[in-house]
Structure 1
């Protein structure tokens, strides 16, 4: 009984943390976007308005996903992969696809832009869960391992061609995590992960822009006005805020000193204006989100729910860690937004879809761990 009560409150906790991050993100965006008022934009705060529209759309889609049994999506996972493949291919077509910083990863939809690689995260999680969550013979399991790995490598390869190295790395990280959970031996996953990291590094070194970023990361002191400029300005913002911050709206770095202050580097603006305690609160919120999501996945009604839930939690958690690592100078600079906080519709839509799917798993689970045998003696469909 106590376990069921805790499971119910885990769902509330997950929802509360997500909406707290959304609210903090709007506050930070409102402050950072204030520099655009009176500039070329005719609307008062166009970034905030567009973000509110994406939040509304994401909440609506997430609410729908909480009510439709996730097993229905698992049955059609190949169809979602096909749709994702078409969207990714369209990014390469002139007039439809749009290049940003040399990466062909955007689709132009009138006044809006869409990043298909973000929505493909959800589709890949569905596909991995549909393949790896089923019970089968040893031969069937190995065939499913190979299928998930090959499909992930194919989509990661497309992203490497589009020079979207960050999303490709996330896809491969997802594959490694779900394969380990599904039972693939570590002596295979370990070397495979190193090989994937080496391949991404080789591609990065072959691209002059990416190679310059990596060299700047290894020796930031020698390139403060070049490729390391953005990270240095982020560190200045975090240092200026101190423990208590300069006060909401009083950031100096947002005044065109810190590039991408509303998207990938919005966290330093939070630190500068609201101080150390708020930034630590954000880190704690992501930790709580990961723990709540992991609990929901662990107590899913079947193995498919375990894989799906853990995949979604992994993508959000790894992206948050990567963003925080970049803005604090611990990782090379790569354009990955901070989940639920950074400005950007595609990533926000994926994150809210993930929330809706996790709540769907939560609604059907809670009757004991999917790895255990129930008290009645009936075993769940395991991994």
Structure 2
């Protein structure tokens, strides 16, 4: 039994995660050592040491999640604790939250700074996966199967928005959309849901227009201006984006060499967080960029492949949610530093500095590897009779859902 489980793990996925984390740790040191001394008066390896600690803690959590059966999270008590814990973390920000980047989204716990919004992403994924798994028989019933999860997700996004943290709120809502589309809802139900969301959005826009309130602050509006014409105000709205272009352009094919970046000498703000990929491009050239993109793409595609093969809705939705989260965060980060979308402060998964983000990702990856292992185990070692029984039960379940619809 134990040998079969060990053989069922996807070691290519595990290796990709390890390579990304190790590469990210090296690049955090390279991109932050100058700023740590010149900007904050710290030791050159300050951010490296903190990231290494987060990697160690996250590695332990990753191994635990690899072993711990993922279906245990279907327990209603565990789900309730996760939901209440998420809400309490978000509410606590209004009383003891720490402001960073003009958003009150951090909890200062002494040696550890925690960003609850990062952990809430996984909470929403677990909640939606568990709820839609239990609602499969009546998932197309709007009042009973559709609205409750939607209300919870909207509630969480509201608390994140008023920090304000538009980037995290957008990621959570996008993850929810991906999971809803893969939940088994019929097309008519999805269209009803889309019309409801669009109507609500238009009502909010009209209300804000009539009341004269601005959706975005002055700083957030400046990010849109910076994307529209970054070279129009090089020392102002376009400063970050222009220096990101300089870093990417000067790297060329081979790069300037590891540790040889010029932009990290105070020219490119947040060189170890939001714009770490620009430093990678400058120091390691196109080869470094391709290395990261290939590994990220491999993990994302592997996650969706696991979702396709998994035979139970909970595991499928977990894999979809986790894979979507990594894909969306990667696209937003890369879009920001290349000027395709406004800069949002979203870190690059596994690479950017940030203990909360890395911890969330490693816990999520542990769950994904766990789902993959159980899926491979069932495919390889489950008896044919058991597979047929499972298939029949799934067919019957779909027939019941269609008849109730």
Equivalent in the alignment of 2:120: 120
- What SS does the aligned partner of 1:252 have? coil
Distance 1:244 1:338 in 2: 22
Measure how far apart 1:79 and its partner are. Answer: 1.4
More helix per residue: 1 or 2?
Answer: 2
Equivalent in the alignment of 1:61: 61
Equivalent in the alignment of 1:79: 81
The answer to whether the 8 Å contact 1:58/1:349 transfers is yes
Flag structure 1 segments of 5+ consecutive residues without an equivalent.
none
Cα distance, 1:204–1:114 mapped onto 2, change above 3 Å: farther
- TM-score, normalised with respect to structure 2: 0.85
The answer to whether the 8 Å contact 2:35/2:265 transfers is no
Flag structure 2 segments of 5+ consecutive residues without an equivalent.
399-405
Distance 2:83 2:271 in 1: 33
Matches within 5 A, 1:103-182: 103-134=103-134, 135-137=136-138, 143-182=144-183
Equivalent in the alignment of 1:310: 320
Matches within 5 A, 1:45-60: 45-60=45-60
- What SS does the aligned partner of 1:331 have? coil
Distance 2:36 2:221 in 1: 36
Distance 1:205 1:216 in 2: 18
Matches within 5 A, 1:1-383: 8=8, 11-36=10-35, 39=38, 41=41, 43-75=43-75, 76-93=78-95, 96-134=96-134, 135-137=136-138, 143-184=144-185, 185=187, 186-188=190-192, 190-191=194-195, 205-366=215-376, 367=378, 376-379=388-391, 381=394
Distance 1:318 1:213 in 2: 19
- What SS does the aligned partner of 1:340 have? coil
- TM-score, normalised with respect to structure 1: 0.90
The answer to whether the 8 Å contact 1:148/1:175 transfers is no
Distance 2:57 2:317 in 1: 26
The answer to whether the 8 Å contact 1:240/1:272 transfers is yes
Report Cα offsets for 1:46-76 as digits up to 9, x if no partner. 1101100000000111111112212222322
Measure how far apart 1:141 and its partner are. Answer: 7.0
Measure how far apart 1:356 and its partner are. Answer: 0.5
Distance 1:154 1:84 in 2: 11
| Larger radius of gyration between Structure 1 and Structure 2 | 2
- What SS does the aligned partner of 1:113 have? strand
Measure how far apart 1:376 and its partner are. Answer: 2.5
Cα distance, 1:36–1:214 mapped onto 2, change above 3 Å: closer
Cα distance, 1:43–1:217 mapped onto 2, change above 3 Å: closer
Report Cα offsets for 1:141-191 as digits up to 9, x if no partner. 762321111111011011111110001001110111111101333424555
Measure how far apart 1:204 and its partner are. Answer: 7.4
Measure how far apart 1:226 and its partner are. Answer: 1.1
Cα distance, 1:103–1:204 mapped onto 2, change above 3 Å: farther
Distance 2:111 2:284 in 1: 33
Cα distance, 1:207–1:44 mapped onto 2, change above 3 Å: closer
Measure how far apart 1:362 and its partner are. Answer: 1.4
Cα distance, 1:37–1:78 mapped onto 2, change above 3 Å: closer
Distance 1:237 1:354 in 2: 32
Distance 1:190 1:223 in 2: 39
Report Cα offsets for 1:350-383 as digits up to 9, x if no partner. 00001110111112112359xxx98535326578
Measure how far apart 1:112 and its partner are. Answer: 1.7
The answer to whether the 8 Å contact 1:204/1:210 transfers is no
Cα distance, 1:348–1:183 mapped onto 2, change above 3 Å: same
